[in-house]
Amino acid sequence: MNRIVFGLLVVLTTALMGSSFAVGKMGLDYATPLLLVAIRFTIAGVLFALIVKLFKRPHPKEFVNWMWIVVIGFFQTAGVMGGIFLALRTITSGETSILTFTNPLLVVVFGTIFLQIRYGLRQWMGVLCGFVGVFITLGANLNFEVGTLFGFLAAVSWAVSTLVIKIHGHKFDTWVLTAYQLLFGGLILFAASFLLEQPKFIINSSSIFIVLWLAIPASIVQFSIWFHLLKKGNPEKTSAFLFLAPFFGVLSGWLILGERLAWFTLLGGVLIFLGIFFVNWQADMRFDFFKRMLPAKTKYQKQTLD
């Protein structure tokens, strides 16, 4: 792929990721958090599922594999996005985006503890740099809100889903996995909304525009471009560009919502971006756990272990 086109697509997909935080915070004026995100991902999941059906992408044939998609949807969509939208009630969209995108740092920690993955010095330097950034971003003003906890739990959920996908993701067509984990996650969020909050949705032109923006450009278009880039480029190097997403989250919060850019937020954000960059860029990891778990000579093994 042409480098200029690749760069433009990277900027577009990460800008769409980041914009969803500010737009989502606007949506909270019209809907309760869990219901808003449930509507967003159910719409996105249904449309994406119809697309993969139309293009006859291979679907899982075994019930256990469908259950793994449900598990991934629980963590990747319900856990991550539920945590984000609950966080947006009490902290800024910029702080929420920075917290959420610490997930690559948590992947290193959880991968070491639970999956016996061995990471190099560069990755651990990234983790240390990133967590110092989190401390500065959220600790400099000594003002921890309940949204801080929800934002961090969203990052934890994202890290867990990443490790689950590392183990089981090779069983699925990428587009099918994306479509149905969005759909199942949206349905789980609907159930959570009716169990944990008093659902409310005010229907008007503004709320409809916000939902459609979150469901189509910020979900379907963003995911489609991102997976296209992962397919065309080196996945590890491409993933390093995720550090742009919280930058656009902070920027969109400032431009759209007029959120204040405090010096400690900017400094902490820069350290987090550097940490994520060190973790992802030219990662040198040995997946001894996966070598024992996966059969020899699989496509997945060639892509992630060699």
User: Computed over its alpha carbons, how large is the radius of gyration of the chain?
Assistant: 19
Res 143: pLDDT: 54
Res 62: pLDDT: 93
**Residue 60 backbone dihedrals phi, psi, to 5 degrees:** -60, 145
Res 43: pLDDT: 95
Res 302: pLDDT: 44
Res 144: pLDDT: 65
Element (H, E) at 37: helix 33-54
Res 249: pLDDT: 82
> Which among 234, 289, 285 has a CA at the least distance from the CA of 122?
285
Query: Hey, what are 130's tokens?
Result: 């990133």
pTM equals: 0.80
Res 303: pLDDT: 46
Q: How many CB atoms neighbour CB 144 within 10 A? A: 11
User: Which residues lie below 8 Å from residue 232, measured CB to CB, with a gap of 6+?
Assistant: 1, 6
Res 124: pLDDT: 83
Res 306: pLDDT: 42
Res 301: pLDDT: 43
Tell me which DSSP letter residue 74 carries: I
36 and 213 Cβ atoms separated by less than 8 Å: no
Handedness of CA 111, 137, 241, 185 (dihedral sign): positive
Mean per-residue pLDDT pooled into runs of 10, the chain (306 residues): 82 89 93 95 94 94 95 94 91 83 81 80 80 70 72 91 86 90 95 93 95 92 81 62 76 84 74 75 45 43 43
